[in-house]
Amino acid sequence: MVNPNRIDLQAEPQEGEFRRIKGIAQATEQALHVAGILTFNKLASLTPDEIAEALPGQVGVKERAVRQDWKGEAAKFAHRLSETSKTEDVEEDTQDPSDGKHYESFKVSLLLHDNRNVKRTDVEWVRTSTKDHWSGWEPDRLTAWIAEKAELALDEIASPKLPTHAVSPNNNSGVLKITNFQVIGPASKKPKKVLLDGAPFELRLDLDFSETDIPANSVLCFRCDIKIRKLHNWEQMHMGAVFGNINTDDPTIMTGLLSGLPTGIYHLQAAIVVGPIKATDTNRKELDAISEGLLVRVLESQPELT
């Protein structure tokens, strides 16, 4: 007759099956469960003294934990379960189910100081074993890294929170706003969220002078500085500056063609300064505004662009 309480040592281990460790009988396993020790990882984290404290009714448990190396054996089973789980995740990630849904799995590990501040962040894309790391805790960078690897739709990615406008401290001419910021494809002249590797593009910015005291049909000079960051590492690049004149009744700036970008997801930002054309025109103060920023994806090959 088969003993229903006996563990099949040939089968794959399950969490809490401490009887696989020499020196742990069924009664001790049950006592460990009652004490809240339910996983091999938890058991492996305890010293023999801590195990003995958790099992006050077990005679000689400390000596057995030392002699049979419960801590080390538990760590081996924890590692084995972790590797099995990783394999299952990879197999699941590479499936192509008929409903078009699939999982992407990522691992995030944090190296902490004693004060619980993050010293280093380590990330891994399980399906490809792609890894990266950086100092400290950067939630925007973590989100961007996962979004880029999983090729999330841009609408799913939160842009960093930036001001829509910034007014110089000594400005008494009101508030200049940027109401529209778009990437324009060179051929279609339509707004784009996706570009091709190396393809040039333009930026369009629409300004709003309604909250300024600048008269209608005024001509001003402007400077537009364009900055760009690659989302996965937040490295900043300066794409250059555009100069020109703008009329308050036709407040649109087109940057002209800008150099194409390598593949990846990018965050674009523009800073605008407008002011009087004549330096002697002291009645008009300089105004400045910073775009909220936008995301654009650059792909290697020809996609169906949106």
The predicted pLDDT at position 82 comes to: 77
- Of the two residues 21 and 103, the one the predictor is more confident about is 21
Nearest Cα residue to 104 out of 92, 87, 86? 92
How far apart (Å, rounded) are the C-alpha atoms in residues 228 and 226?
7
Nearest Cα residue to 69 out of 12, 19, 9, 23? 23
> In this predicted model, what pLDDT tens digit does every residue of 174-186 receive, in sequence order?
888 898 899 988 7
Q: Quick one: 133 exposed, middle or buried, by C-beta within 10 A (0-12, 13-18, 19+)?
A: exposed
The predicted pLDDT at position 165 comes to: 41
> In this predicted model, what pLDDT tens digit does every residue of 58-96 receive, in sequence order?
888 899 999 999 999 999 888 888 776 655 544 544 455
- DSSP character at residue 68: T
**Where does 185-218 show beta strands of DSSP type E?**
191-192, 194-196, 202-208
User: Could you write out the DSSP letters of every residue in 16-53?
Assistant: T-GGGSTT--HHHHHHHHHTT--SHHHHHT--HHHHHH
> Where is 140: in which H helix or E strand?
helix 139-150
Domain ranges of the chain: 18-91, 98-154, 177-299
Instruction: Tell the residue number behind the tokens 């500085």, with chain if given.
Output: 225
The predicted pLDDT at position 214 comes to: 87
How far apart (Å, rounded) are the C-alpha atoms in residues 35 and 32?
5
Listed in sequence order, the residues at least 6 apart from 102 whose beta carbon sits closer than 8 Å to its beta carbon are 92, 93, 95, 96
Which own/partner contact pairs does 26-29 have at CB distance under 8 Å and 24+ positions apart? 28/55, 28/58, 28/61
Whether the predicted model's global pTM rises above the 0.75 cut: no
Given a contact cutoff of 8 angstroms between Cβ atoms, the answer to whether 258 and 203 are in contact is yes
> In this predicted model, what pLDDT tens digit does every residue of 228-278 receive, in sequence order?
888 766 777 777 888 999 999 999 999 888 888 888 888 888 889 998 876
Domain at 177-299: CATH architecture: Sandwich (2.60)
How far apart (Å, rounded) are the C-alpha atoms in residues 22 and 65?
9
- Please name the amino acid found at residue 305: L
The predicted pLDDT at position 93 comes to: 47
β-strand partners of 108: 123
Could you report how far apart the first and last alpha carbons of the chain are, in Å? 67
